[in-house]
Chains A and B, each alone.
Chain A
Amino acid sequence: MPSLVQSVDWTALAPAAIPAVLAVAVLVADLFLPKERKELLAWVTVGGLALAALSLIPLRAGRHATFCLTDEKMRPLHDGQATATAGCSYAADHFTLVVQALVLGGALLTALLSVNTQDDLPAGEYWFLLLSSAAGAALLPASRDLATLIVALEVTTLPAFALVGLRRGDRLSSEAALKFFLSSVAATAVSLLGISFVYAATGTLHLAAVADGLAHAPAQLATLAKVGAALTLVGFAFKLAAAPFHFWVPDTYAGAPLPVAAYLSVVGKAAGFSGLILVSVIAFRPYDDVWGPTFGVLAALTMTVGNVGALRQRPGVERGAVRLLAWSSIGQAGYLLVPLAAASDADSPAHEIGTTVAYALMYAVVNLGAFAVAALVSRTAPLGRLSDYRGLYASRPAAALALGFFLLCLAGLPPGIIGLFAKVAVFSSAVGAQHGWLAVIMAVNVVIALVYYLRWTALLFARPEGAPEGSASLAELPADGGATAVSRTPVGLVAAIALTAAAGIVLSGAPQLILRYAQGSLL
């Protein structure tokens, strides 16, 4: 009998393990640090996340895997032959590495956003929860069995509930957390039920083996397997906030502390879509004729709901800026689903998955950038209304130009060239897969989205006139208090805006840097 002891490849695990270990360390350190030195925790978190991101470099060949079955005979066959990662629960292939880079980068920027801006939050808990969630999100794309996947998904979301509700005494914050919690737990329960059905039908949890099992499932279990597959996907669609599972997003984002909303909009979505990709493209491959069109409909529905919702935001509403970003993130999630719908028909789904990943990378950079500027503006205008952005160019030209650039990237119009080409890549996968109807719906949505992005952009450069005293004082700042206002801006916030703007500009000059994933060498 062969040994059942598995050897663990810690190098491969590092990107997920470093944040987890650090989370505990930060929580403990919090107990011993005096109040005035709590800022140290923030920089430890930033450093740790950077270290985790750096730990991806030795893995770049994409051949690491661990937690593998030790019995060769139990390893499932993939296309008739065993691959290096077959039968492993944790695979650090290219797909994993890119999504981990996205997740860790997103968490890093969130941490930068939070340094010194969230003084009313309990520091130790905040950093602990953020790191735990990041660890889960980093584990998720590497999971190659359903159990690990669901555990990773929960590790990502459970700390997020607490993060949303962390602002004590804020009614909106607690309400948002409760809403998020209840709907998310319901979705997870549905997913678990689905997974149990799939397990019953196939007798395995490994994704590749599930695909094999579903293809040869006994006839009397076929219905069970199909229902199981559908229910499993629901849970992930929820995390991605695809319509009709999107209703929690606007209230949750608006109620959460701003960096947490940024985190959810990027890292939460990344977790959702990478899980969806793994489950659908690998495990439920035999049912691609079912989930392909379903994703298509979901994509069309999601982008329409999100964009129409964003269009309806009025400038005077409190926290309107974050609400608009929340609705727009739903719309963007719709675009992310388009290549997945196309993946079902493609001979090699790698192209389409790569397109989704490339789009997600673009979205992560510019959306975090937009949230960073929103965080900056909310320091002087805590109500966070859209009308607070009126005339931002007059008081903070750099921030206004950056936000304008981010919004145009999200809209996909030059000078946001990277946004334009990421959309072109998505369109091209829809056209290539003969999903003409989806491409047309997306075209209409791009136009709807332009209206609200442009309205906001125009507001930035509008003359600050006829506004109540709040915005008027904002406009008068540069004359006397411009310099002091800049120096009071936390360094983390400036770094976050600078990093995302620089990344956006570099990518606009060389879109190939992320669009090469659309060429397809992932998975």
Chain B
Amino acid sequence: MNDTALQYVLAALLVLPLLGAVGALLPAPPGLKGRGPDQAVLRHGVTVTGAVLVLAIVLAAGFDHDHPAKMQATTDLNWISALRIHLHLGVDGISLPLLVLTALLTFLCALYSYFKMPEGPSPKAFVALLLLLEGGTLATFAVLDLMLFFLAFEMVLIPMYFLIARWGGGEREKSALRFIVYTLLGSVIMLLGLLLIGVKAGTFDMVALATDNGSSLSHSTQLLAVLAIGVGLAVKAPMWPLHSWLPDAHTAAPTVGSVLLAGVLLKMGTYGLVRIVLPMAPDGMHTFAPYLAAFAVVGIVYGSLACLALARQGNGGDLKRLIAYSSVGHMGFVLLGIASMTPTGVNGALFANIAHGLITGLLFFLVGAVKDRYGSSDLDTLAGRTGAALYGRAPRLGGLVAFAAVASLGLPGLAGFWGEMLSVFGAFKPADGLSRPAYLTFTAVAAFGTLLTAAYLLVVVRRVCMGDRGTVDAQPALADVRGYEFAAWTPLAALTVLAGLWPAVLLGLTDPAVHTLLGGN
């Protein structure tokens, strides 16, 4: 497929969800009314996200896999010349997997909601917000202009806020407000950093700035810019100690909200670090990388310890909160890989990004299903004294929970393994000029973190999936995995296996692009 056609595919990929969001608010046209307005609008959501997924697959198929380092399907239009903002779009090997992941997860969420709409107000607004969210996330990964990146980054805030505040549970309004205040504070500070780069370098074009490799920015400018942008992205990622919005948001969010929050929204932070901070201000990043690495490994250990505490009997741990904390740990590996500033580490980070999106997305789906069946995601309520015995009561669901947990702890052969291994490898031998002993310490701590991760996930599996014989026959009987649940979860499980067995699919895409971003060394 030639580049012009691909260009239109990419543009359509970004415009379609936004048009769909407007369409969801309008009354259904005659002939598409379905079985009622609710069903019609939910079906509209499935159709639009499905079309977006098809476009994303077409984009991936048409992508020139021989030159993944080159920006493809590029569009560059002048939009606001007063601020030198261009509508500059394009994909390369780094953004393509994230685009496909976003399209896939949103489609699965729409599909899941079609059959199991979360409790709350009308589905009309739900679908519109979901599509708006998808548009913003896709745009974040596809734009090549710093100000557009900021715009896309902000675009997801309002939809996510309302998804949590309207369709969530528990202390939803408070959690939603906390989510948006934290991330907005981060992103406004990021804006200052982006403006600093733009004002000093005279352009907001991300390709030009990345090619420039920070040579037009003075060292102090780079330091300030990395600090400001880094803080903004670290809130989103989230990096310890700026993560405290995440567990509350996840606990309160509806299932699909959690899936998208963990699956794609967190990736915007790490993607920004790789796409903006690493190539545009390498000197500044050099100074801050050890600190980032230190915070990352603290996050790994902290997340695991928090999970261990939540998983213990009698602590009243919430499963969703537990997985949220495990995200802090997993994203710690991603940040560690980025902080190593080596191609190995950054490749590992990007791989771990995708793997985390697949696995944690699946985990949140599963926990949502468990919560629906038990009416609670409180681990003690679920497990009772001996365990919930999901293997016996709902064998397929139990099997999937165990599969996702094992994938999450990084079992070789599944997706979770490669990313974390490469990240740790990268940190073992960091880029020139970074303190080797410090990084060796970080590597050791991170390795210890993997042990802790394995520990809490196995505890969860034991308490949720296993149990004594008496529990198995408890009434009422639990429904096992339903048809639509299979449809929503199978792609994630299959891709987890695929990425685990054949990591070259992803690494082949990211590796050349990473080498280019890091300045060819």
Contact = CB atoms under 8 A, between A and B. Distances in A.
Contacts of B32: none
B192 A431 contact: yes
A519 interface: yes
Contacts of A458: 161-162, 165, 173
Contacts of B82: 358, 425, 511-512, 515-519
A interface SS class: helix
Given A413-B157, A424-B150, A446-B184, A463 B121 contact: yes
A64 B188 CA distance: 42
Nearest to B152: A414
A396 to B, nearest CB: 14
Interface stretch (A9-17, A144-152, A162-170, A447-455): A447-455
A160 interface: no
Nearest to A444: B185
A415 B162 CA distance: 14
Interface in B157-210: 157-158, 161-162, 165-166, 173, 177, 180-181, 184-185, 188-189, 191-192, 195-196, 198-199
A161 interface: no
A439 interface: yes
A395 to B, nearest CB: 15
A389 interface: no
B188 A424 contact: no
B485 interface: no
Task: Give the interface centre of B80, B136, B177 by most chain A CB atoms within 10 Å.
Answer: B80
A428 B195 contact: yes
A413 B180 CA distance: 11
A191 to B, nearest CB: 33
B interface SS class: helix
B80 A431 contact: no
A177 interface: no
B151 A420 contact: yes
B136 A446 contact: no
Contacts of B180: 450, 454
A interface, how many residues as a size bin? 35 or more
Contacts, number: 97
Interface residues of B, number: 36
Contacts of A495: none
Interface in A267-308: none
Contacts of B184: 413, 446-447, 450
Contact of B189 (A443, A461, A511, A517): A443
B407 interface: no
Contacts of B188: 443, 446-447
Contacts of B189: 440, 443
Contacts of B224: 436
Contacts of B80: 421, 511-512, 515
A474 interface: no
Interface in A411-437: 413-415, 417, 420-421, 424-425, 427-428, 431-432, 436
Nearest to A432: B199
B212 interface: no
B378 interface: no
Given A420-B151, A461-B166, A512-B81, A427 B195 contact: yes
B181 A450 contact: yes
Interface in A456-514: 458, 461, 463, 511-512
A427 B191 contact: yes
Contacts of B158: 408, 413-415
A443 B154 contact: no
A415 B125 CA distance: 15
A401 to B, nearest CB: 8
Interface string B124-154: 0100000010001000000000010011001
A421 B83 contact: yes
B222 to A, nearest CB: 15
Task: Give the interface centre of A425, A428, A444, A518 by most chain B CB atoms within 10 Å.
Answer: A428
Interface in A392-418: 408, 413-415, 417
A463 B162 CA distance: 13
A518 B81 CA distance: 10
A198 B125 CA distance: 60
A450 B158 CA distance: 11
B195 to A, nearest CB: 4
Contacts of B198: 428
Task: Give the interface centre of A421, A432, A461 by most chain B CB atoms within 10 Å.
Answer: A421
Contacts of A427: 191-192, 195
B142 to A, nearest CB: 16
B242 interface: no
A427 B197 CA distance: 13
A428 B204 CA distance: 12
B309 interface: no
A450 B161 CA distance: 12
Which A-B residue pairs are the 7 nearest by beta carbons?
A515-B82, A443-B188, A414-B155, A431-B195, A519-B82, A447-B185, A512-B80
Interface of B: 79-83, 85, 121, 125, 132, 136, 147, 150-151, 154-155, 157-158, 161-162, 165-166, 173, 177, 180-181, 184-185, 188-189, 191-192, 195-196, 198-199, 224
12 contacts: A413-B157, A414-B158, A415-B132, A415-B155, A421-B85, A424-B83, A428-B199, A446-B188, A447-B185, A451-B177, A511-B79, A515-B80
Given A414-B136, A428-B198, A447-B188, 7 more contacts: A414-B157, A415-B155, A428-B195, A431-B199, A450-B184, A458-B162, A511-B80
